[in-house]
Structure 1
Amino acid sequence: MPEHVSVLQQIGVVMLAVATVAWVAGLIRLVRVVALPPPRSVPRSLPLGSLPGQAQAPALESVPLTPDEQDAFAVLIRQFGRP
Structure 2
Amino acid sequence: MLQDVSIVQQIGVAVLAVATVAWAVGLVRMMRKDRFKGPFEAEAWRQAPSLRALPAQQGPPRTETVELTADERAAFAGLVRQFGDGRS
**Per residue, is there more helix in 1 or in 2?**
2
Which protein shows a greater Rg?
1
- Using structure 1 for the length normalisation, give the TM-score: 0.46
- Using structure 2 for the length normalisation, give the TM-score: 0.44
